[in-house]
Amino acid sequence: MTDIFSELQWRGLIHQTTADDVLPKWLHQGSRTVYAGFDPTADSLHVGSLLPLMMLRRFQKTGHRPIAIAGGATGMIGDPSGKSAERNLQSEEQLAANLAGIETQMRHILDFDCGDTSALLVNNNDWMKEFSYTAFLRDVGKNFPVNVMLGKDSVKGRLTSDAGLSYTEFSYMLLQAYDFVRLCQDHGCELQIGGSDQWGNVTAGIDLGRRMLQKQLYGMTCPLLTKSDGTKMGKTESGAIWLSAEKTSPYEFFQYWRNVDDADVDKCLKFLTELSEEEISALAQSREADAAKCESQIRLAEEVTTLIHGEAGLKKAKLASEVLFGAKISDVSDEDLNQIFADVPSAEFSRATLESEGLTLIDALALTGLCKSKGEARRTITEGGANVNNVRRNDVETTLTSSDKASDSIIVLRRGKKKFALVKLV
């Protein structure tokens, strides 16, 4: 078997482990079953979920079986780990919709049809719904010493905060710990992985397994995906970077990784791609020789975008990048242009008009809002600031016709370097 422990070590992906002296050898002795949990707090995973998913993918590719728990039950409570205040609780209907959304994304990263190491996606509500409150306290709660729970960093931090800690969140640890027990019973799972903020929950599950099953279970945490300044990666001024193309377009996704700081790109290549140590080292040398070429960032963006959105998504992202940076626009689809220019102004015009007398460029610039008036439009054209499908047009007598379409029903106008608008034909 491939030595997964050494692979994770050189990538810097091991933060803490239990049974340090035993775990590497145990992993190397045979195929193991390993799990990580994901709370369905939205109908899409975000960049922060990439790291544990990639950890599961690495285990699978080295001969181990991954299980992903989509926490239908724990998601109704919310994990207090790393949180300064209690989450808003979600309805069962919303959680069901969220679970459906993230399942597709997990299937892009994990292989669910490869024999003995096929990935498994489970919902912990499937077993938690079997319990009454008193039955859970009797069968599970009695195995949890309160002093141990109070000693966990995730609990201590919240108890001393202004927000405090509700009994609901305090109970989260019991539910996640019981997940480990059930996965061990039902699927032979003996290793839990998670972010470094999950250490308390991981060790609680190991302790519960020892008390309820008299079994040795194992735990491993990886670093959180943070920038060199300590802030979490995957956040922008406009919000989180999602894995859903509907929430974050492939272009936005690609550009996020394309713009990662030099100080962070080496870590991202190790954490989020399957490039070899030699390839990553070669990219580092190239970066030192000529950082302006951004080879590391481009390769990172290509690898991660392909992983999440496939080759088609990468192609769209590159197309959008080329278009927005001035490449001539032709023979593309309405769908692609609407995605690329989702936030730019547009105006609708009759297709028949365009095919007969045409539409003057002066009118188009004014009516789409790129220019405030026809006079300003005229000046823009004469000064060389007007572009049709990224091709400069400096003749004030220019008339747009059906031959100017970039796609079936769209003409792209640009003023200056970055101001766009769409002419949409109806």
Q: With CA atoms as reference, report the closest residue to 361 among 374, 342, 348.
A: 374
Does the pLDDT value for residue 168 go beyond 80? no
Average pLDDT, the chain: 90
Q: Taking the C-alpha atoms of 38, 40, 43 and 47 in order, what is their torsion angle to the nearest 10 degrees? A: -40
- Condensed to tens digits (0 to 9), the pLDDT of residues 28-80 reads 999 999 999 987 888 899 998 999 999 999 999 999 999 999 877 776 665 55
For range 393-407, the mean pLDDT: 92
CATH code at 235-325: 1.10.240.10
- Condensed to tens digits (0 to 9), the pLDDT of residues 298-355 reads 999 999 999 999 999 999 899 988 898 889 998 888 988 988 888 889 999 989 888 8
- Residue 234 phi, psi dihedral angles, 5° rounding: 100, 10
DSSP string of 178-202, one letter each residue = HHHHHHHHHH---EEEEEGGGHHHH
Q: Across the chain, how many H-helices and E-strands are there?
A: 19, 15
> Do the bridges between strand 191-195 and strand 33-38 make them parallel or antiparallel, or are there none, so unpaired?
parallel
Give the C-alpha distances (Å, rounded to integers) separating 241 from 236, 285, 288.
7, 29, 28
User: Sign of dihedral through CA atoms 98, 101, 102, 103?
Assistant: positive
pLDDT band at 81 (very low <50, low <70, confident <90, very high): low
CA pair distance 59, 54, nearest whole angstrom: 9
Residue whose structure tokens are 């031959």: 403
- Condensed to tens digits (0 to 9), the pLDDT of residues 103-137 reads 888 988 999 999 999 999 998 888 988 899 899 98
pLDDT band at 205 (very low <50, low <70, confident <90, very high): very high
For range 131-147, the mean pLDDT: 89
The SS3 call for residue 3 is coil
Does the pLDDT value for residue 238 go beyond 80? no
Report yes or no: 205 and 176 within 8 Å, Cβ to Cβ.
Answer: yes
Task: For residue 189, give both structure tokens.
Answer: 């799972």
Lowest mean pLDDT among 25-29, 77-81, 95-99: 77-81
Q: With CA atoms as reference, report the closest residue to 209 among 166, 255, 176, 161.
A: 176
Domain extents in the chain: 4-222, 235-325, 336-425
pLDDT at 90: 67
For range 71-98, the mean pLDDT: 64
Size of the chain in residues: 426
CA pair distance 423, 349, nearest whole angstrom: 7
CA pair distance 110, 64, nearest whole angstrom: 12
- Condensed to tens digits (0 to 9), the pLDDT of residues 252-297 reads 999 999 999 999 999 999 999 999 999 999 999 999 999 999 999 9
Burial of 122 (0-12, 13-18, 19+ CB in 10 A): buried
Residue whose structure tokens are 């593309």: 332
Given 2.60.120.330, 3.30.1330.30, 1.10.10.10, 3.10.290.10, which CATH number is that of 336-425? 3.10.290.10
pLDDT at 86: 45
Q: With CA atoms as reference, report the closest residue to 55 among 244, 303, 200, 271.
A: 271
**Does residue 225 come out as left (phi exceeding 0), alpha (psi in the -120 to 50 range) or beta?**
beta
Given 3.40.50.620, 3.20.20.140, 3.10.620.30, 3.20.20.70, which CATH number is that of 4-222? 3.40.50.620
pLDDT at 1: 62
CA pair distance 121, 102, nearest whole angstrom: 11
pLDDT band at 11 (very low <50, low <70, confident <90, very high): very high
The SS3 call for residue 213 is helix
Percent of the chain at pLDDT exceeding 70:
96
Top-ranked range on mean pLDDT: pick from 87-91, 160-164, 213-217: 213-217
Report yes or no: 404 and 389 within 8 Å, Cβ to Cβ.
Answer: yes
Domains 4-222 and 235-325 share a fold: no
* Buried/exposed code over 60-81 (b: 16+ C-beta within 10 A; e: otherwise): bbbebbbbbbbbbbbbbbbbbb
For range 190-201, the mean pLDDT: 93
Report yes or no: 27 and 14 within 8 Å, Cβ to Cβ.
Answer: no
Q: With CA atoms as reference, report the closest residue to 313 among 335, 280, 283.
A: 335
Q: With CA atoms as reference, report the closest residue to 74 among 149, 126, 18, 143.
A: 126
